[in-house]
Amino acid sequence: MTQDLTLIRPDDWHLHLRDGAMLQGVLPETARHFARAIIMPNLVPPVVTGAQAAAYRDRILAALPEGSAFQPLMTLYLTESTDPEDVAAAHASGLVKAVKLYPAGATTNSHGGVRDMDKVMPVLEKMAEIGLPLCVHGEVTTPEVDIFDREAVFIDTVLAPLRRRLPELRVVMEHITTEEGVAYAREGGDTLGATITTHHLILNRNHLLVGGIRPHYYCLPVAKRERHRLALRAAATSGTGRFFLGTDSAPHVDAAKETGCGCAGCFTATNTMPLLAQVFEDDGKLHALEAFTSLNGPAFYGLPVNDTKLRLVRHDTPQTWPEKIYTEAGPVTVFNPGFPVHWAVEA
């Protein structure tokens, strides 16, 4: 059995850092293990313009622990009034690596998202022209669609028509959760990628609901049936270049999770790499972990792989991590997989 595993240092292609005190508290958890991350723009107010993205990047860099080489990769929040020329200028400067599509009302701080795709076509056409990827939260929000079906309906009614209309547009299907998402990504061609989260490789909807509601397992897109989780595991461990890690690590203070209308999000920044090593080992696919965490994402985004390494060691006894991260905004509960994890990141 492998006891020691050295990987090219990983990247996180979907990360929430928030702002202010929360940013200060959670950023070190990602910067400890990851070299880069695609930073989500759904702040209040959202990061819509290049100037706002530059200011947010500066706040992230100022919050980094001393000596950290972590690099935030900035994104813009797509709205129906987004200026295509501002997007192009932010991309040309090297600042912005993607634009994020939130269907209005789909998840945290998405109320300013897109309702009418026709209204954002000038931006998408410009992005296709300049090669700037579109990251999509792939769920419809129409009330008649069951929450467990939102992803499959989005693929059929929004994503597939968009890609037929703009086949040269580079698209990342973020945090896919279904067999349908996996199948569409596999057949999508070179302009389509898909991220998979740590927690969706571990959770099905029973974990959320059986034995009582588990608020720290509630996320959007919501965890699905076991067959969908198994499809995600097969995709992530396949080594296929279409799939790469985007944790969607999403910190909320405990008071906002453990309430009558709790926020969606799992905080996995602290322990993602040990969890993934355990998942890939359990599936007999440790040899595919580096592709998923460190190679496939840079290839899709056209970036070099990192030039530093990360070492994981397997111990005979289960390893532990802090139950909570204490920030000045309040405590944030670290994701608990519910099974023993024998791997730890070692310097």
In degrees and rounded to multiples of 5, residue 39 shows phi and psi of: -95, 125
CA quadruple 285, 289, 290, 291: dihedral sign: positive
Give the span between the Cα atoms of 297 and 195, in whole angstroms: 9
Provide the 3-class DSSP secondary structure of residue 290.
helix
Give the span between the Cα atoms of 76 and 47, in whole angstroms: 6
Give the span between the Cα atoms of 99 and 179, in whole angstroms: 25
Residue matched to tokens 């279409």? 242
Is 307 annotated as catalytic?
no
Active-site residue, selected from the candidate residues 11, 12, 86, 248: 248
Q: Which one, of 183, 161, 201, 189, lies nearest residue 285 by Cα?
A: 201
First to last CA, the chain: 21
Active site members:
248
